[in-house]
A and B are shown apart, each in its own frame.
Chain A
Amino acid sequence: GQNIDQPTEMTATEGAIVQINCTYQTSGFNGLFWYQQHAGEAPTFLSYNVLDGLEEKGRFSSFLSRSKGYSYLLLKELQMKDSASYLCAVRAIGGYQKVTFGTGTKLQVIP
């Protein structure tokens, strides 16, 4: 099975930088996803890591260390619209492309 752990809630200030961590345990790692979910809406894809290192996409970056079972999502120049839940999800080898989601981190951006 898989075990994914991320903080339940975080608060950060508009314009600042925030890092959301995700640790996981899985057999046969085959990729890690970050999704954003605004309240009452569907999750939307943010980033994907399968190799160690940093993937940058505009204000958002995601980092992966497979040996440590660790990832983080970095959000820069925070905006009020970044207030949302951020879901970490891990895919294992086999299993027909299914992923296991963490419980999500609810980020509140304050002025």
Chain B
Amino acid sequence: DVKVTQSSRYLVKRTGEKVFLECVQDMDHENMFWYRQDPGLGLRLIYFSYDVKMKEKGDIPEGYSVSREKKERFSLILESASTNQTSMYLCASSLYRELAKNIQYFGAGTRLSVL
């Protein structure tokens, strides 16, 4: 089974802190994604990566950055956390194969509260 592991289930941080959210997958997937999920807004894509050291902005990248130094690990960085970044953060990974489903597999999520 595919396993996507997020380092923390719950995090509480203060405004202005630098926050790292870590995600590791064990299936050698090329693609990795970071989403945030808010009531009434659904899952929104922050950043994704299709290869080591490669990244693409999603729909809401402002205030975030990412790092992918190794294929299995994708980190989301909040350079200076703000209260409007309080949310559930979900990491996902998928294969990249032409003409295939390329299902996304999700981690359990990190609920971040910024005070």
Contact = CB atoms under 8 A, between A and B. Distances in A.
Given A43-B43, A43-B90, A87-B42, A97 B50 contact: yes
A96 B103 contact: no
Given A45-B103, A48-B101, A98 B45 contact: yes
Given A42-B90, A98-B58, 20 more contacts: A31-B101, A33-B103, A33-B104, A41-B109, A42-B108, A42-B109, A43-B43, A45-B103, A45-B104, A96-B50, A96-B56, A96-B96, A97-B31, A97-B50, A97-B102, A98-B45, A99-B104, A100-B45, A102-B42, A103-B40
B96 A97 contact: yes
Interface residues of A, number: 19
A97 B106 contact: no
Interface in B2-19: 4
B24 to A, nearest CB: 14
Q: Is the interface of B mostly helix, strand, loop or mixed?
A: strand
Interface in B33-63: 33, 35, 40-45, 48, 50, 56, 58-59
A43 B43 CA distance: 10
